[in-house]
Structure 1
C-alpha cells in the first residue's frame, strides 16, 4: 500500500501537466469553434444580402424591359397634332407675358411692395413700447424675419431681446401683411387668430380668475393695453374684410374691449363644450 501511494505521488505532477495541456487544448478548440461560428453567421448574412440584391436587380431589369417595350411600341404624335399646337401656343403666350413683365420689373415690384409693408410695420411699432421702435422696419422674405434698420446697422429679430419684442413684432408684421393682402384683394384667408399674445406680460399663472391685469406691474399693464389697442384699431380699419380672433386670459376693463368680446370661457365654460367630449 505504501509503495502504491508513493507511485501515485510520483506520477501526480505528470498527470497535472497532462491535464493542463488538455484543458489548454480544449480552450483553443472552443475558441476556434466560436470563430468558425462567427464566420458562418457572417457568410449567411452575406448570402442573404446577395440574394436580396439579386432580387432587386431582377425587378429593376423587368421594369426597364417593360419601359423599353412600351417606348418601342408607342407611336409618336404627329407634328401637326392638336396637343403640339396647344403647347406651341402656350409657349408663345408665356414668351409674350415674360416680355411684358420682365424679370427686373418683377423684382422692382416686389421690393416696392415690401417697402410699403415695411412702412406699415414701422407705423404700427410707434404704438408699442418695443426695442428699436422708430427705426425703419422691413420684412426679409429670404430669411423670413423682421429687420430693424438702425444707425448702427441692421438688427434682426433674434437680436432684439425680450419676449415682448418677439411677440410685438410678430403681431404687427401679421397685421401689416393682412392689410396689404386685403388692399390688393389677394386670395389669402381673411382672418387672423392670435393665441394669448399677452403671455410675455400676463402668463397663465398670474390669471386672477376674472382676467384682470391690475395685479401686474404698471409697465406690463400698459404694454398689454397698447398691444390689444393696436390689434383692435387695425381690425376696425380693415373691417369687414378682415376678422381678428383673439384668445387670451387677460380681460381688459375697457368699453371698446368689452364690446369686442364674443365669449368668456370662465367658471366652467370652455372653448370645447364638455358635452361634446361626453358624446
Structure 2
C-alpha cells in the first residue's frame, strides 16, 4: 500500500502536481490546503489577506479528483470565505481532502476540528480553524486494517513554537486516531503540522507509541525551493509499526508545492 501526504499549496503548481499524483498513484492521498469553489468555473481566483495576496486554483479539489478517477474523494472544509475574481468576490471553501482508491474498502472514518470550529462567514482571525480527517481501510494484499489520519496544523503568526493551542490540537489529533483505529491496526498519522522537530505536538504523538519518520530517517526538511524562509520542517508522518515500512521518502523532485510530498510504502 502506498500513502502520500502533501500540502498542495492551494494548487499553485497544479501543472506539476496533477501529473505527479496521477503517475505516482497513491492508494491513499492525504492532501492539505485544498480549495473548493463550486460557484465558479474559473481556473484561478485570488486570495487576499491584507498584504498577503496569492493565486489560488479555484477548484483544486475538482482538479485532483479528475486526476484520480479511480479514487473516492472526500473534502473536509474548515471554513468558507471569499476569493476574488477581479473586484468580484466568490464564495470558496478551504480545507483538506482524502482520496482513497476504490479497491480499498473503507471500514471506518473520523472527521473533526483540532482547532476552533467550522467558520461559515469568513476564514477568521489567525490562528484559523483547522480540521482533520481519518479513514480506516482494509488492505486485502497484506490482510490487515490500516488507519490513516491527517491534519493541517494551525498557523500562528508568531511562528512555529509550542503553544497551548498546538498542544490541544495534538491531543485532538491523537484522540481522533485512537477513535478510528483498533489495537490490531497499522496506524499512520501525518500532515502539515506547522511545528518544528522537538515540538510538543510530536512528543504527544510519539508518547503514544508512534514513530516519526521524517526526522527519524535523517531528512533535513520538508520544504521545496519555493519556500524562502529558513525553517525547513513542517510536515511529518508517524507509524505505530515501523517494521511494516518498506520505503519512506521526502520527495524533492519534482517540485509540486512549496512543501515536499511524503511518500510511504507499506
> Which range, TM-score by smaller chain?
under 0.3
Larger Cα Rg: Structure 1 or Structure 2?
1
Name the structure with the higher helix share.
1
Name the structure with the higher strand share.
2
TM-score normalised by L of structure 2? 0.27
Q: Which has the higher contact order (CA 8 A, sep 6+)?
A: 2
